[in-house]
Amino acid sequence: MTDDDLIWMRRAIELSRRCPPAAGAFSVGAILVDAAGQEIARGHSREGDPVVHAEEAALAKVPKNDPRLATATLYSTLEPCSERKSRPVTCADHVIRAGLRRVVIAWMEPSLLVADCVGVEQLRAAGVLVTELAALADEARAVNAHLLT
């Protein structure tokens, strides 16, 4: 974990606050940052589509063959999903297909909507370095009070 990781995750948490609360859906922010520390793209849950996930929204704004993806870091306020009802491709799969090698999350998905999210395990099995910033988990969870209370 670096100071930059904390800065970018705080920005992702701010972004997650733009999500309209929805029953049965987490409010998540995601930001892609290149190796030089420059933002590539950002997205949040339900951005322009009631079922879009934050990671999916951010990655959709970047050409699939963009060479920056191979050295970029994805900051996501929640563990990328490993199971979805609304789309055939999970966020963990989107990350793997994009060729990302590093993901930083604020907290692991609780067993609230999916009994056993294994997004982190899938990413690590694909060679993606995953870092959890537990120090910011409470801030990311607070945005999801509509589900957790």
Residues catalogued as catalytic = 55
- Residue 120 · residue 82 · CB < 8 Å: no
Q: Calculate Rg over the CA atoms of the chain.
A: 14
- Is the torsion defined by CA of 79, 81, 82, 83 positive or negative? positive
Following DSSP, what letter does each residue of 49-113 receive, concatenated? STT--HHHHHHHTS-TT-GGGGG-EEEESSPPPS--SS-SS-HHHHHHHHT--EEEESSPPPTTT
